[in-house]
Amino acid sequence: MTGTSKSGSYIPSVIGLIALFAGAMAFISVPMSQLAREGEPLADSKSLQLLIQGNELPQPKEETAAEFHGTIATAPSLNSLVQLAHVLGYTTPAAEKRIEVDLTNQKVYAYEGNVKVYEFIVSTGKWGRTPTGEFTIWTKVKSQTMSGGSKALRTYYYLPNVPWVMFFYNDQVAKMRGFSFHGTYWHDNFGTPMSHGCINMRSEEAKMLYDWATPVVTNDKAWSTPAKEDNPGTKVIIYGEAPTG
């Protein structure tokens, strides 16, 4: 009986250790940077709070020093954004427009009804998930500081003057998370996941999408344009699974 008792207690303890090890490995398999970023804003939190409160953002101060995962970059001049005047007005009703994001193929498609008017290659989330589902653009900003990540994990980024930003949200993904489409000047690796959750676009293509999508910019001098009942934001549909590796 003594031998049986020892064996009986030994086997469960081994099973318990195996289960604990498996659980630990499952935790480790999730990128540490992704765990650290979960729930944190992807853009400057003060600016996001102002936008959520319905305030217009002022033109930010000029900054040129940028960093992405230890690589130094130069931010574009704000003057270049001011000079790229938007043609006010539009002909296609907002209800007929939609943007689709194909995570699997790293593509963005813009539709008017059943007609595809744009197709862009992009970079979606690698160090943080790009959410899937149906969303709405809730505001546009000519440029916005994006910052976050972890210096300890070598995922820190500080990116001023990120151009042509369109923030989107839904009932499950709060505005304060700061998910957006935006131009990108710190990498040219489109077609491969490269972001902390946002949708990275070539800056000239982000400008095209920004001008096409709603809400319509009715005051070209304003730095931000919120969606309103009489000027709603474009629907955004995100699907698929981003490639890994």
How do residues 111-167 score in pLDDT, each as one tens digit?
Answer: 999 999 999 999 999 999 999 999 999 999 999 999 998 888 889 999 999 999 999
CA dihedral 27, 28, 29, 35 (to 10 degrees): 70
Q: pLDDT class for 25, splitting at 50, 70, 90? A: very low
The burial of 1, by beta-carbon neighbours within 10 Å (0-12 exposed, 13-18 middle, 19 or more buried), is given as exposed
Q: What is the pLDDT of residue 80?
A: 74
Q: For residues 211 and 134, what is the distance between their CA atoms, to the nearest angstrom? A: 21
Query: Residue 204: what are its φ and ψ, rounded to 5°?
Result: -70, -30
Residues in the chain: 245
Q: What is the CATH number of domain 31-239?
A: 2.40.440.10
Cβ atoms of 108 and 99 within 8 Å: the answer is yes
| Residues contacting 87, CB < 8 A, separation 6+ | 211
Cα separation, 86 vs 35, whole angstroms: 39
pLDDT value of residue 11: 45
pLDDT tens per residue, range 40-95: 899 999 999 999 999 999 888 888 899 999 999 999 888 777 655 455 555 566 67
The beta strand positions in 71-149, using DSSP E, are 71-74, 97-102, 107-112, 115-121, 133-148
26, two tokens: 């499952």
Q: How far is CA 159 from CA 74, 162, 220, 245, in A?
A: 9, 6, 24, 25
Q: What sign does the dihedral 112-114-116-117 (CA atoms) show?
A: negative
pTM value?
A: 0.81
**In b/e form, how buried is each residue of 26-61, taking b as 16+ CB within 10 angstroms?**
eeeeebebbebbeeebbbbeebbeebbeeeebeebe
* C-beta of residue 78 within 8 angstroms of C-beta of residue 63: no
Average pLDDT over residues 206-217: 95
Beta bridge partners of 201: 183
